[in-house]
Structure 1
Amino acid sequence: MTDGQDDSRGTPRASEARAWSLYGEELSPGAQVGGYIVEGTRYRGSVSTLYRAKEARSGAPAALKVMHPQFAAARSALRRFQQEAETLKRLKHRHIVDVLEHGTLADGRPFIAMEWLEGRDLAAELAARGPFSARETLELLEQVGSALKAAHGAGVVHRDLKAQNVVVLAGEGAPRVKLVDFGVAKLLAPEEHPGAVMTSTGMVLGTPLSMAPEQIRGETPDARTDLYGLGVLLYQLVTGQPPFQGTTQVELEEQHLHAPVPRASERAPVPAALDAVVGRCLEKRREDRYADVDAVLVELRRAVQGERQGRTTQVRALGLYVEARMGVLVDDATLDAVDAMMEHARERADAVGLKVMVEGSSFLLGVAALPDGADAEREARRRVLELALALAEEPARGAGTARVRLTPTLHLDTATLRPDASGRPALGGGRLLRLSAWTGGHPGQGVVVTEAALAGLEDTFQVEVLPGREGLCHVTRHAA
């Protein structure tokens, strides 16, 4: 039997089998979608899958969003997906992802081809580097606000503004962002689009962590709904966490509907004027919020510029990043060991004057401003390096492949010194808190120190330059 023929038992043709292998529920590399060739799967969501692809003629990278087969026949889901494509085609803006093409596959599945954004979303950026300073946040929200203003001007409400839907583009210089995922966007029209997700409080679309009260109540959104999301994002960028958190969706909804807005200045070194901006964005009644995006940005600029006028300084500061590395097996005993070791690391950091500014379940960042004078500064760095070595030398906890070890990294860079809510000087953002720039080169054992933090201490410890990792050194004690 040759390819392309059926045998007497009804075996599928080889070409059909190959088509199924390429165009099954998940598209395989080589599948052609419109003018694009699939290269691989990047993210599988509940309704659609995102693929990396290339333009068939030029080879230029692209992102393909393809609806899952089981939803292609659902009128409401199909309408939402097609609406996203049409919405993005209308919104040509430097801070909104570009649509290149849209259409349907042979089996009826719709797709959207978009520009490929090299970078990571703001949620991943926050997880990697910690909170942003007020000034950095303003620079980011100027761009997000510009995108929202363009959308509102075109009669579109995003309705799902959150850190995961803002992509920070890779590259040098000041961060540049693009707004993505208009999958639940709504045209500013009288009729309500069907197909919303049912919750305990009504028909709503959006993400619980950033959902406006009117969305929870199932009311028709307008541009002020996005201002609520902008306030949530503002709070999250400067504090590292959303203003409202809960263990269930119902608990989150109750907080958005009834809980007072927490003050960002109580959790981060930002001016009290910024609290007022967050508070007005997060008013429960949309009538009490700002009138539009421009009004938000005007007040945010005033808050940040007031902070900058003679009240902030840049200081040299030392950062100690400690991460608990776990083995292959992770069970309850392993997680208990991680908790105990991180609590011990926190206590030791506090004892040498390090303020823990960023903390997660398996990592923390302790920061201290360095004293004036070369000798005093060198002694401060030596003391923190000794702590890092002590943490790295502690016996691993756990058993077998579940053993946990601490891996410290030490760096010196600039940080911002500004008054806290009580008026006392406090360390804030700055280059030192950009963790992704200096915490990614640890080999998994011992202490890693950047050249800036090690300067003048090379003779005190055993130093080995890490191959292929410019500016990073592996440091141990001199042999006795």
Structure 2
Amino acid sequence: MEERTRRLGGPDAGHQARQLQPGEQVDDWVIVRVLAGGGFGTVYEARHRAGDQRVALKLLHAHLVGSQEIVARFHREAAVIGQLRHPNIVELVAAGVTGDGRPYLCMELLDGEDLASVIRRTGPMSGLQALAVLEPVCAALAAAHEVGVVHRDVKASNVVVCRGSGGRRGRIVLLDFGIAKLSGALAVELTASHQSLGTPSCMAPEQVHGRAVDARTDVYALGTLAFFLLTGHMPFEDASLTMTQYLHLHARRPRVSVAAPVPPRIDDVVARAMAIEPGERFADTLSLLAALRSALRDSAPIAAVEIADAAAILVAVGHAGGGLDEALLTDLEAVLPAAERALTGAGFSLVLDLGSSAVFAQPHCEASRAVAAAVAVWDQLAQRRNPDPRVRIGIAVHRAAATFQGTELRAGTLLQPATWGIPDELDGVWASAAAAPDAAGATRLR
């Protein structure tokens, strides 16, 4: 399911709004069909009444006309797109206000598919494929930054891959400048409330805090987009909004090369783009792009080897709910590093880091040895200093065949804990049926 852009204190997306029917008219534009709908408005395909020009017409829901902030969002998007002229930025055709006071935008009608849908349909991209997509996106953002515009919501669903001739990939187009920061008085008016604006899985730490943003905020989002294109999932994913924010603010950045066949230098590039402090990131999108190109040249192949008797240990950390305070943060931050030290000492290597959970693997490992290591880690974590009772720790052991490339685990179910047959809400120590062959299913050990 597509994660929506988040606006704290925004309107109720569930409020029903009447959709326009084919043949109805918005000024000079005749409605053809509905393309998409959301909490703020509906997007229609429309044609000009005096010709055959087709556009994507975004119309604000009628019940939101009284919201000055939401109306201002529409006007701001028109102002931003209107001053940007770039082949990789969606073109504004017209803008206006209906007779009942609803603002609308008419943008070029794109024939294509958003990147999120592409990845869902085809899976992760190779390094060169991802670079071919990121190059035009970086160029579009560089043009926006040059005139003082920060997008603030760069994500896969806001990038469209247009269809080219002969089945080839066409233009790459960046969409949705609805929460962009625009230099000048308008930007001050719309950001003075220190709201948290953006999509939680892509938000830079300064966005989480509601602080000032600049071009480096979009660099952070590009880092998350590169991670998504190469691995098929976001760097930080958690059902809890609080935990997602915590991960962006505090967690170690996961390595792309653990989940995708890319040179390890890519890890450093993405980690720098996603640095917690803006001053530690690339200064601009073109510097990030140059670093990605350079890293992809480091591509000496290493033979992949199938290992029949590999084992993995999943360590997951969460909390019982509520807000984050200093004591809780301190304990949450202590768990995974302590587990990594213990498991590395036992011969396991970190193969998957998702922020709030991590998987450690070892080739040629007997089930009894893996179970003993997991129980030992549990016992060590129970003895950590000042444990917070709200922190929840789950550990699981699984055994299966896996493909290793050097020391990196490249493929197999060991990288997919959801397939291990263990509880979704992991608490305590568990062994999967594959790690406890005498049991009929997953077994709780602690």
Q: 1:25 is matched with which residue: 18, 31, 34?
A: 18
Q: 2:66 is matched with which residue: 73, 76, 81?
A: 73
Q: 2:116 is matched with which residue: 117, 123, 132?
A: 123
Correspondence for 2:210? 218
Query: How far is the alpha carbon of 1:76 from its aligned partner?
Result: 1.2
Does residue 154 in structure 1 map to residue 139 in structure 2?
A: no
Query: For residues 292 and 190 of structure 1, do their structure 2 counterparts lie closer, same or farther at Cα, with a shift above 3 Å needed?
Result: farther
Query: For residues 209 and 425 of structure 1, do their structure 2 counterparts lie closer, same or farther at Cα, with a shift above 3 Å needed?
Result: closer
Letter in 1 for 2:93: L
Correspondence for 1:102? 95
Question: SS state of the match for residue 306, structure 1?
Answer: coil
Cα distance in 2 for residues equivalent to 1:66 and 1:112: 7
Q: 2:228 is matched with which residue: 232, 236, 240?
A: 236
* Residues 336-355 of structure 1 aligned to structure 2 (within 5 Å): none
Correspondence for 1:276? 268
Q: 1:176 is matched with which residue: 168, 171, 178?
A: 171
The 8 Å contact of residues 140 and 175 in structure 1, kept in 2 or not, is answered as: no
Does residue 285 in structure 1 map to residue 280 in structure 2?
A: no
Query: For residues 97 and 106 of structure 1, do their structure 2 counterparts lie closer, same or farther at Cα, with a shift above 3 Å needed?
Result: same
Query: For residues 190 and 74 of structure 1, do their structure 2 counterparts lie closer, same or farther at Cα, with a shift above 3 Å needed?
Result: closer
The 8 Å contact of residues 40 and 53 in structure 1, kept in 2 or not, is answered as: yes
Question: SS state of the match for residue 85, structure 1?
Answer: helix
Correspondence for 2:241? 249
Query: How far is the alpha carbon of 1:421 from its aligned partner?
Result: 6.2
Query: For residues 147 and 216 of structure 1, do their structure 2 counterparts lie closer, same or farther at Cα, with a shift above 3 Å needed?
Result: same
| TM-score, scaled relative to structure 1 | 0.58
Does residue 83 in structure 1 map to residue 68 in structure 2?
A: no
Correspondence for 1:209? 201
Larger radius of gyration: 1
Cα distance in 2 for residues equivalent to 1:304 and 1:156: 29
* Residues 334-413 of structure 1 aligned to structure 2 (within 5 Å): none
* Residues 309-320 of structure 1 aligned to structure 2 (within 5 Å): 311=301
Query: For residues 197 and 45 of structure 1, do their structure 2 counterparts lie closer, same or farther at Cα, with a shift above 3 Å needed?
Result: farther
Question: SS state of the match for residue 238, structure 2?
Answer: coil
Question: SS state of the match for residue 50, structure 1?
Answer: strand
Query: For residues 222 and 420 of structure 1, do their structure 2 counterparts lie closer, same or farther at Cα, with a shift above 3 Å needed?
Result: farther
Correspondence for 1:354? none
The 8 Å contact of residues 302 and 406 in structure 2, kept in 1 or not, is answered as: no
* Residues 287-326 of structure 1 aligned to structure 2 (within 5 Å): 287-307=279-299, 311=301
Letter in 2 for 1:224: R
The 8 Å contact of residues 224 and 291 in structure 1, kept in 2 or not, is answered as: yes
Cα distance in 2 for residues equivalent to 1:77 and 1:258: 32
Aligned residues: 295
Query: How far is the alpha carbon of 1:27 from its aligned partner?
Result: 1.5
**After superposition, what is the alpha-carbon deviation per residue over 1:110-161, rounded to whole angstroms, capped at 9, x for unaligned?**
0000000111100000000000000100110001001101110111000000
Cα distance in 2 for residues equivalent to 1:236 and 1:93: 25
Query: How far is the alpha carbon of 1:55 from its aligned partner?
Result: 2.1
**After superposition, what is the alpha-carbon deviation per residue over 1:283-320, rounded to whole angstroms, capped at 9, x for unaligned?**
0000100011111011000011232xx6499xxxxxxx
**After superposition, what is the alpha-carbon deviation per residue over 1:204-227, rounded to whole angstroms, capped at 9, x for unaligned?**
110001000000001011110000
Cα distance in 2 for residues equivalent to 1:179 and 1:205: 18
Question: SS state of the match for residue 203, structure 1?
Answer: coil
Query: How far is the alpha carbon of 1:40 from its aligned partner?
Result: 1.2
**After superposition, what is the alpha-carbon deviation per residue over 1:174-209, rounded to whole angstroms, capped at 9, x for unaligned?**
4531000111101134875455699xxx62110001
Does residue 59 in structure 1 map to residue 52 in structure 2?
A: yes
Cα distance in 2 for residues equivalent to 1:146 and 1:77: 29
Does residue 266 in structure 1 map to residue 251 in structure 2?
A: no
**After superposition, what is the alpha-carbon deviation per residue over 1:245-300, rounded to whole angstroms, capped at 9, x for unaligned?**
11121111010000110001001111101111100010000010001111101100
Question: SS state of the match for residue 136, structure 2?
Answer: helix
Correspondence for 2:181? 186
Percent identical residues: 38
Cα distance in 1 for residues equivalent to 2:55 and 2:302: 43
The 8 Å contact of residues 124 and 231 in structure 2, kept in 1 or not, is answered as: yes
| TM-score, scaled relative to structure 2 | 0.62
Query: For residues 132 and 88 of structure 1, do their structure 2 counterparts lie closer, same or farther at Cα, with a shift above 3 Å needed?
Result: same
Correspondence for 1:135? 128
Query: How far is the alpha carbon of 1:71 from its aligned partner?
Result: 1.4
Correspondence for 2:407? 422
Cα distance in 1 for residues equivalent to 2:408 and 2:258: 12
Q: 1:34 is matched with which residue: 27, 38, 42?
A: 27
Query: How far is the alpha carbon of 1:57 from its aligned partner?
Result: 2.3
The 8 Å contact of residues 265 and 420 in structure 1, kept in 2 or not, is answered as: no
Query: For residues 159 and 424 of structure 1, do their structure 2 counterparts lie closer, same or farther at Cα, with a shift above 3 Å needed?
Result: closer
The 8 Å contact of residues 212 and 225 in structure 1, kept in 2 or not, is answered as: yes
Question: SS state of the match for residue 298, structure 2?
Answer: helix
Correspondence for 2:323? none
**Where in structure 1 are there 5+ consecutive unaligned residues?**
1-23, 314-418, 428-480
Correspondence for 1:461? none
